Structure formats: C-alpha cells, structure tokens
Amino acid sequence: MFKRILIANRGEIALRIIRCCREMDIETVIVYSTADEESLPVMMATHSICIGPAKASESYLKEEAIIEAAKKMGCDAIHPGYGFLSENAGFARKCEQNGIIFIGPSADIIERMGDKQAARELMRQSKVPTVPGSKGLVATIEEAVEVAEEVGYPVLIKASAGGGGKGMRRAYSKEELAQAFETAKAEAKAAFGDDSMYVEKLIVNPHHIEFQILADKHGNVTYLGERDCSIQRRNQKLLEESPSWVLKPKLREEMGEVAVRAAKAAGYYSAGTIEFVLDNDDNYYFIEMNTRIQVEHPVTELITGIDLVREQIRIAAGMKLSHTQDEISLQGHAIECRINAESVGKISFLHFPAGAGVRVDSHLYTGYEVSPFYDSMLAKVIVTGSTRLEAIRRMRRALEEFTIEGVQTNADFMYLLTYNTDFIKGSYDTSFWDKHSDTIREWQKKGSA
C-alpha cells in the first residue's frame, strides 16, 4: 500500500480524500494556491505545499509544479479528485513517466474515453446501445443535415471534446441546424481548443441515469447500482438519488451488466461512471464515460456501504476489488443536494445538520472566506433512509437545520424542491428545471429562494 499520497485538488473532495487516507494510515500532501492557505485540507493534510497564486492555471492546473512537489515529498501516488487534472491524459502520462501512480485509469484509457465520439464508436462495436446519430465526426453543415434527415429531428450537435454541457446545441429543424452547428463548433473551439463535432438524435426529455462501476487491474469489474441525476440546471446536476425511481429491477440488472461490458471494452480500471439517457419507453443509450470519482459518489456509498475512494486507492495500488458482484447489495434510498454559493464573502455563522442518516461533505467552517476563484459548490448534504419517503423527509429536516450566514446560497431553493409534487412523485426527467422555471422565477423574485 502507498505510504504517502499527494492530493492535486481542493475543497470538499480534497478533504474527502484526506479523511480516507487517514483511515487507511496513509500520509497526505496537499498542494494549494495562495487563496486556499487557510483551508481545511491544508490544515488537515500531513504536509502542505503552496504551488502558486489563486488562478487555477497557475496552481491547480500546473502539472510540472505538482509533479515536482510529489517528487520532493516522496509521494508514491497522486489523487486528482474531480475537475482540474482528473481527466487530463497528459498529466496521467507525466505521472507514469515520473514513476508516480495516478489514482485513476491509465493515460491511454482517459484519452480513449475523453474523445466522446471515439468512445461512442467503441461502445457501438461492443454492442452497448448508443444514441442513433453520425457514424463518425461530422465536418460540414451538409453532413450534419444528412445525418439529421436519416435519424429524424430533433438532433443534438455535440463536441467530441465536450464537457460540462459546453459545445452542445439542439436543432429542431433543418433551418435551425446550420446556426446550431456553427454556434456549438465555435463554443467547442473556445472552450476546448478542439471543434470536432458529431450529431446525435435528441432523446426528448430523458432521464439521466448513470451506473457506478469499480474495476481492478486483474480484470474484475462490478457495478454498484445507478444514480438518477435528472434534476439539472443548464446541464449541471443539482440533486442526485439512488435507486432511480423509474428503473425496474430487471432493467437495472440489464443496464448494470451493460455498464460492466462497457468498462471491460475500454480495458478500464479504477472507479468510473457509465452515463446513459433513458427515454419513456425504457430504451437506454450510452452517452459518455467519466473516468474519475464524481461529486455524487456518496449517494452510492450510502446505499452500498462501500467506500469508493478507498477502493480507488486500493485498485491503484494493484489490489483486487474488495467485493464480488454477489456481495454488493443495495440498501434503502439515498439523496444528495448540492449547496452552491450565490455570492462570495466571509462565513459568519455555520451550522451543519447531523443526526441519523445524514452526511455533510464540505470544506466550510465559520470564518472561511468564500472566494470567486473556484467552483461554487459549498457543501453536499446527503441523506439515507430505509424508503424514498423517509429519505425525502430526512432531507427536509436536514435542510431546515442547515444554517449559513455571510453568503447567499441555493439551500432554500433545494428545500422547496423537496416539496415539489413532481419530485415527491418521482415523476421528473431532465426537463424538470424548464418545466418549473416559472415557479422558480417567482420564488426567486419574492426572495424566498
């Protein structure tokens, strides 16, 4: 097992990894920017090294500085968390070249799955259902029109290098297609420096269902149930739950097995996620694979009892998975709400919910300064209950206790969400936000959320 791990991240995920390492008796080195000097990860890691100023491109994305720090401190491995360098094949390769283990899959796998069009092709060849669309990249508007006419409108134009919902546009007709294609292409060029595009049929109001998988370096692959992440705002997830209310047991099993097949086809190891869209007729289609630990991973941890970060570290160290598929059972129901900052400032008072079935993952403390430099997520409130209703009631209770002063957050909005009839009924899909946007605007206007 590793003796010392460098954490190339910040905030709640850095803390999450440090906590895991402490339990595993592994020392930690946190690299940080000057803006995070007084952060909990810096206080809690065994060692800390400042690697640059606040701007991420000059600190958390500075590959050489991070590798240097790892070498200087004698670290065996680097955990990249999510975001930043977590899906950067070049960085994973540099780690490999410097004899440091990257806690994640190999650079080749990251590269293969990061090219969304190539990943889709690989899945298609492995008999994993993919969304009908172009067979390869689409270079011109004429080609895009041809594909759209073949699969039928509406279509979704997507950037092969895309992420975070960028470089993606819908087109409902031939007239709209040209404009959508150009806009998506320009956005992709600006955001990723790569404007390779492909075209997919737009699945109307689908569910976003993703399967957590774990794979070791010995060929063992398991799935740990799904997460329903359909409640999103501008393609950003807000609330995640497991199990999904719309998935019948037989379909869960089938999709889980397909997810395992997808991971095997990619030669995958580490923790990973296979994302699908599911339509109203129970047809599911692979959309992409995430090759990192995800924000919403605690939802899966709470219903399986498996520590995913610990598994990631064990896998990276060459150990076998600690569970076989038969030993994994899904218990109860878990829900996560993401609490995001809507302003910056100093936190003058903070109280987190606790008690039975409540977990809060956060890097906040009273006196902490919320800065504008990084992701706006402040905390994840995750609850578990023996039934979905118990989990919902527990989430309401937890959010009633959640108190934060000094910055504006979406906590009240999340609270109101737990009383939304469609949410309670479990009858929601990715159109949830748009469907309720009038109500949401009204709440916001009246200052109640």
CA pair distance 213, 225, nearest whole angstrom: 8
Q: Burial letters for 193-226: b for 16+ Cβ neighbours within 10 Å, e otherwise?
A: eebbbbbbbbbebbbbbbbbbbbbeeebbbbbbb
Minimum Å distance from CB 22 to ligand ADP?
A: 32
If binding is defined by CB under 6 A, does position 206 make contact with ligand ADP?
yes
- 43: Cα separation from own chain's centroid: 26
DSSP helix/strand/coil, 426: coil
If binding is defined by CB under 6 A, does position 296 make contact with ligand ADP?
no
Short-list 402, 361, 310, 379, CA closest to 15: 361
Minimum Å distance from CB 332 to ligand ADP?
A: 25
Quickly count: other Cβ atoms within 10 Å of residue 403's Cβ: 11
String of contacts with ligand ADP for each residue 128-147, x by CB under 6 A: ---x----------------
If binding is defined by CB under 6 A, does position 114 make contact with ligand ADP?
no
CA pair distance 107, 92, nearest whole angstrom: 5
If binding is defined by CB under 6 A, does position 370 make contact with ligand ADP?
no
Quickly count: other Cβ atoms within 10 Å of residue 329's Cβ: 10
If binding is defined by CB under 6 A, does position 10 make contact with ligand ADP?
no
User: Cα separations (Å) of 427 from 231, 244, 384?
Assistant: 11, 11, 20
Size of the site for ligand ADP (CB under 6 A): 18
If binding is defined by CB under 6 A, does position 154 make contact with ligand ADP?
no
Q: Taking CB under 6 A as the criterion, which residues in 33-92 touch ligand ADP?
A: none
292 catalytically annotated:
yes
CA pair distance 141, 159, nearest whole angstrom: 14
* Three-point CA angle 22, 364, 235, nearest 5°: 100
Among 95, 224, 287, 398, binds ligand ADP (CB under 6 A): 287
Among 173, 235, 280, 439, binds ligand ADP (CB under 6 A): 235
CA pair distance 260, 181, nearest whole angstrom: 33
H/E element, 6:
strand 4-7
CA pair distance 92, 113, nearest whole angstrom: 14
Short-list 319, 300, 439, CA closest to 382: 300
Piece of the chain touching ligand ADP by CB under 6 A; list 45-53, 162-170, 351-359, 406-414: 162-170
Minimum Å distance from CB 206 to ligand ADP?
A: 5
CA pair distance 334, 331, nearest whole angstrom: 9
Bridge partner list, 237? 232
CA pair distance 166, 149, nearest whole angstrom: 24
Query: Which residue is catalytic, options 10, 16, 169, 292?
Result: 292
Residue number with CB closer to ligand ADP (76 or 115): 115
Among 65, 107, 148, 203, binds ligand ADP (CB under 6 A): 203
Q: Say if residues 201 and 152 touch (Cβ distance below 8 Å).
A: yes
Among 11, 105, 162, 225, binds ligand ADP (CB under 6 A): 162
Residue number with CB closer to ligand ADP (431 or 444): 431
Among 165, 305, 367, 372, binds ligand ADP (CB under 6 A): 165
CA pair distance 342, 331, nearest whole angstrom: 34
If binding is defined by CB under 6 A, does position 200 make contact with ligand ADP?
yes
Residue number with CB closer to ligand ADP (56 or 168): 168
If binding is defined by CB under 6 A, does position 202 make contact with ligand ADP?
yes
Among 47, 54, 126, 163, binds ligand ADP (CB under 6 A): 163
Residue number with CB closer to ligand ADP (135 or 346): 135
Residue number with CB closer to ligand ADP (15 or 159): 159
Piece of the chain touching ligand ADP by CB under 6 A; list 174-182, 202-210, 250-258, 434-442: 202-210
Among 10, 120, 208, 363, binds ligand ADP (CB under 6 A): 208
CA pair distance 41, 438, nearest whole angstrom: 40
If binding is defined by CB under 6 A, does position 288 make contact with ligand ADP?
yes
* Nearest-CB residue for ligand ADP: 203
Q: Say if residues 387 and 69 touch (Cβ distance below 8 Å).
A: no
Residue number with CB closer to ligand ADP (156 or 377): 156
Piece of the chain touching ligand ADP by CB under 6 A; list 17-25, 196-204, 299-307, 432-440: 196-204
Residue numbers annotated as active site: 292
Q: Could you list the residues that contact ligand ADP (CB under 6 A)? A: 131, 156, 162-165, 168, 200, 202-203, 206, 208, 235, 275, 277, 287-288, 430
